[in-house]
Chains A and B, each alone.
Chain A
Amino acid sequence: MTAAVEITGITKRFGDVVAVDNIDLTIADGEFFALLGPSGCGKTTTLRMIAGLEFPTQGSLKIFGDEVGTLPPNKRPVNTVFQNYALFPHLNALDNVAFGLKMQGVDKSTARKRALETIDLVQLTGMDARKPSELSGGQQQRVALARALVNQPKVLLLDEPLGALDLKLRQEMQGELKNLQQNLGVSFVFVTHDQEEALTMSDRMAVMNDGKLLQVGSPEEIYEHPANRFVADFIGQTNLLEGRVLDSETVCLANGAHVTGTSDLPMGTEVAVSLRPERAHLGPRDETHSRQAAVDGVVESVTYLGNARVYHVRFDWMVIEVREENRPGATLHEPGTPVSVSWDPSAVSVVAD
């Protein structure tokens, strides 16, 4: 099957700034693909190159097998939901949605009919005569979505489409977008800086930083096996225990303690053992652990979250965060208590820079 989008060795420079640095990326047909990274890492630029709003400095970009590197946006079978929507302020919702069809030469009555259907699809029935300024943020977001979807693009590009919505509405729209994508079977390329959004919504995701693509994979692969320190830290919460590789099974932490950590890095490489707060367990010091998967510390603070407690445990040079589910009978460790933080040796990953 041909890939929906195939990016090979693409670089984009703006003067001296390298916005996108030699990335390779393949997005399958019908896939919900998230492009995740901190602000300024090159997500929008990547998306704009797929849309044709920016041309790559180098590299090849194919959409369903056709090279589109320097094709203008109106010649590409993709549509964009812009960040902050970019709705036409002088047109009402209906004319906004019908715009693409009219430009493609679809006759007026068909364009109107299809635009109204799409307005129904995004649940804006009856709002068609309103100007963008007469719609709420969430409604504008839906018009933007309808305006792109009505053209039946082969790939839909979304640039932080939920970024401007409040939390409640955002969560609602996340579910709706996901449903819509599954029903339509169209590839979505979804740009976000919110790791939780990327994890919950996408089939596969890419993590970018500083113009570079760091890791591509399913949310589970990326959460469980982060490719490097940045990914481990950026996706979810984690404790990074600094140390050096001792052998393929062991990491020597900065304080000399040896812990289990599988890697194929050469001996002496500076690494960190990534321990997720929810994978760590607190117990009294006298409990017998495999010393290869535990460290001793002192409780510094406890935060009550309702469904869990988060402990901050002082361990030599650092503070380790431990999350204990609030089960009946769970032991409460007061600040100042000497404790042992332990984990299942298979639950940690070893990450380098």
Chain B
Amino acid sequence: MTAVKLPSDAEAAVATPEFEAAAIRQESRRGFLLAMPSYAYLVLFFAVPLVIVVVYSFATRNRFGGTDLSGWNLASYARLSEPIVRDILFRSLWLALLTTLICLVIAYPFAYYLATRTPVVRNLMLVFVMIPFWTNFLVRNYAWRVILGNDGPFTDVTEAIGLGERELLFSKTAVVLGLVYSFLPFMILPLYAAIERIDKRLLEASRDLYASGLQSFRKVLLPLSMPGVIAGSILVFVPSLGAYVTPDILGGSKTTLLGSYIVTQFLTARNWPFGAALSFVLMAVMLTTTVVYFRKGGRTL
């Protein structure tokens, strides 16, 4: 007969999960409240317009350039298989891909160089990378038009080195050049952040374990910097695919890309359903690329 009853282990344990659950519940409620403004923003400016676009893409254009929301059909999507539209789609995809690859090749060595400098040099060079952002995007694109155009510095150079008067303006090359120029910082920054995080002794360890410089890059540096490669590629590919200003200014009418084609549908052709269908396809492509890329990247990490 024991006078004092000691709490058994079971009893002591009962209280804890309850407290824990309550704490977790409270924590998540607080999290939700803090996130409220962002949710509201997303719904208002992302989800609602998206629904409108989808709805419009199934509607019909009436004779006066207005939109009939009553007769729902797939006509706009059917037009995607037309040769002109298909060409524009593939050209846009190809140029966006090319832009991404060129950015990657240029940005990687630069980001590595940046990540291995002293902090002072590093910050100074990062400022240089950002400087173009201080000038308006349009102005910068028109500047390229002057550089590449007739009698511009570029033709002066080609003439001087004996290649004759070459004109780059209003070509796919000019568009890619402009896109690379515009989006290069978006590749450099995530790559730099990813490479900077890597313990540089891992590279030494690989050299110590008989890897050549190239093997060291392929087996250690590249796999470990993959998050940066993925982030940078998406940040360049997605806006390149939808780019409107640069192709318009530097590509001229010969190289219509998806962005300008969509604008034409809304503003000139006044075919809102078709414009909406194109927009939706563009968005779907971007979304799948992003998801696939992240999945793939996630596995290799």
Contacts from A to B (Cβ < 8 Å)? 51-53, 72-74, 79-80, 82, 86-90, 99-100, 103-104, 147-148, 151
- The CA-CA distance from A88 to B205 in the complex, in Å, is 9
5 more A-B residue pairs beyond the given contacts A52-B208, A74-B209, A89-B202, with a C-beta to C-beta distance below 8 A: A72-B207, A82-B201, A99-B211, A99-B219, A103-B211
Give Cα A87 to B204, complex, Å.
11
Question: Does the CB pair B208–A53 fall under 8 Å?
Answer: yes
CA distance A147 to B202 in the complex (A): 13
Report the Cα distance A72→B204, complex, angstroms: 11
Q: Please tell me if the beta carbons of B215 and A53 are within 8 angstroms of each other in the complex.
A: no
Q: Which residue of B lies closest to A85 (CB)?
A: B205
Beta-carbon contact of A53 and B207 below 8 Å: yes
Q: Are A90 and B209 in contact (CB under 8 A)?
A: no
How far in angstroms is the closest Cβ of chain B from A48? 8
**Is there an interface contact between A151 and B209, defined as CB atoms closer than 8 Å?**
yes
Shortest 7 CB-CB distances between A and B: which pairs? A100-B209, A103-B210, A86-B205, A86-B201, A73-B207, A103-B211, A74-B210
Please tell me if the beta carbons of B209 and A79 are within 8 angstroms of each other in the complex. yes
A90-B224, A90-B301 are known contacts. Are A79 and B208 too (CB-CB below 8 A)?
A: yes
Asked if B220 CB lies within 8 Å of chain A CBs, one says: yes
Contact residues of B between 197 and 224, Cβ < 8 Å to A: 199, 201-202, 204-212, 215, 219-220, 223-224
Assess whether B215 is in contact with A103, with CB atoms less than 8 Å apart: yes
User: Are A99 and B209 in contact, with the CB atoms below 8 A?
Assistant: yes
A51 touches B210 (CB 8 A): no
Provide the residues of chain B in CB contact with A82, threshold 8 Å: 201, 204-205
Q: List 17 A-B contacts (CB under 8 A).
A: A73-B207, A74-B209, A74-B210, A74-B211, A74-B212, A79-B208, A79-B209, A82-B201, A86-B201, A86-B204, A87-B205, A88-B220, A90-B224, A99-B206, A99-B219, A103-B215, A148-B209
- Distance in angstroms between the alpha carbons of A79 and B204 in the assembled complex: 11
A80, A104, A151: which has the most chain B beta carbons within 10 Å? Answer: A80
Say yes or no: B210 contacts A88, CB within 8 Å: no
What residues on A are CB-neighbors of B210 within 8 Å?
74, 100, 103-104, 151
Binary CB contact string for chain B from 271 to 286 against chain A (1 if under 8 A, 0 otherwise): 0000000000000000
Residue of A whose beta carbon sits closest to that of B200: A86
Q: Are B202 and A86 in contact (CB under 8 A)?
A: yes
| Contact yes or no, A147 B209, CB < 8 A | yes
Chain B: residues with Cβ within 8 Å of the partner, total of: 18
Chain A positions within 8 Å of B208 at CB level: 51-53, 73-74, 79-80
Nearest CB in chain A: distance from B195 CB, A: 14
Partner of A88, one of B202, B207, B212, B215: B202
Residues of the B chain whose Cβ atoms lie less than 8 Å from the Cβ of A90: 223-224, 301
> Closest Cβ of chain A: how far from B123's Cβ, in Å?
21
Cβ distance B198 to chain A, nearest Cβ, rounded Å: 9
Query: Interface residues of B: mostly helix, strand, loop or mixed?
Result: helix
Q: Once the chains bind, are B224 and A74 in contact (CB under 8 Å)?
A: no
Chain A residues, CB < 8 A from B206: 88, 99, 103
What's the Cα separation between A136 and B215 when bound, in Å? Answer: 28
Q: Are A53 and B204 interface neighbours, CB within 8 A?
A: yes
Please indicate the chain A residues that have their CB under 8 angstroms from the CB of B201 in the complex.
Answer: 82, 86
Task: Determine the distance from Cα of A77 to Cα of B201 in the docked complex, in whole angstroms.
Answer: 19
> Nearest B residue to A75 by beta-carbon distance?
B210
Residues of chain A lying within 8 A (CB to CB) of residue B212: 74, 103
B211/A80 in contact, CB under 8 A: no
B residues near A52, Cβ cutoff 8 Å: 207-208
Interface code B171-211, partner A: CB below 8 Å = 1, 0 otherwise?
A: 00000000000000000000000000001011011111111
List A contacts of B205 (CB < 8 A): 80, 82, 86-88
- Say whether B209 contacts A103, CB under 8 Å: yes
Please name the residue on chain A nearest to B223 by beta carbon. Answer: A90
How close is A71's CB to chain B, nearest CB, in angstroms?
11
Alpha-carbon gap, A99 to B204, bound state (A): 13
Residues of A within 8 Å of B220, CB to CB, are 88
B202 surroundings in chain A (CB, below 8 A): 86, 88-89
- Complex Cα distance, B220 from A103, in Å, reads 12
Distance in Å: Cβ of A41 to nearest Cβ of chain B:
20
- Contact residues, B203-261 vs A (CB, 8 A): 204-212, 215, 219-220, 223-224
> Complex: how many Å from CA A6 to CA B164?
63
Are B224 and A89 neighbours in the complex by a CB distance under 8 Å? yes
Taking each of B205, B206, B211, which has the highest tally of chain A beta carbons within 10 Å of its own beta carbon?
B205
A80 to B207, CA, bound (A): 10
Question: Within 8 Å CB of A104, what residues of B?
Answer: 210
From B301, which residue of chain A is reached at the shortest CB distance?
A90
The answer for the CA separation of A79 and B107 in the assembled complex, in Å, is 33
Question: Once the chains are docked, how many angstroms separate the CA of A275 from the CA of B219?
Answer: 56
Q: How distant is the Cα of A53 from the Cα of B209 in the complex, in angstroms?
A: 12
Q: How far is the CB of B220 from chain A (nearest CB, A)?
A: 6
Q: Give CA–CA (A343, B144) in the complex, Å.
A: 89
Interfacial chain A residues near B223, Cβ < 8 Å: 90
Write the nearest CB–CB distance from A321 to chain B, whole angstroms: 41
Q: CA A104 – CA B219 in complex, angstroms?
A: 13
Give the distance to chain B from A156, nearest Cβ to Cβ, in Å: 11
* Cα separation A87 to B207 with both chains bound (whole Å): 13
Rounded to whole angstroms, the CA-CA distance of A86 and B301 in the bound complex is 17
Please give, as numbers and ranges, the residues of chain B lying within 8 Å of A87 by CB-CB distance: 205
Q: Which residues of A contact B199 (CB under 8 A)?
A: 86
CB–CB A74/B204 < 8 A: no
Minimum CB distance partner of B220 in chain A? A88
Tell me whether A74 and B207 are in contact (CB under 8 A). Answer: yes
C-alpha gap A155/B19 in the complex (Å): 58
In the bound complex, how far is the Cα of B210 from the Cα of A147, in angstroms? Answer: 12
CA distance A51 to B204 in the complex (A): 10
Q: Which B residues touch A147, using CB under 8 A?
A: 209
How far does the Cβ of A189 sit from chain B's closest Cβ, in whole Å? Answer: 14
B144 to chain A: closest CB distance in Å? 40
Chain B residues lying within 8 Å of A88, measured Cβ to Cβ, are: 202, 205-206, 220
Most-contacted residue by chain B among A80, A88, A148 (CB, 10 A): A88
Q: Which of A52, A72, A89 has the most CB of B within 10 A?
A: A89
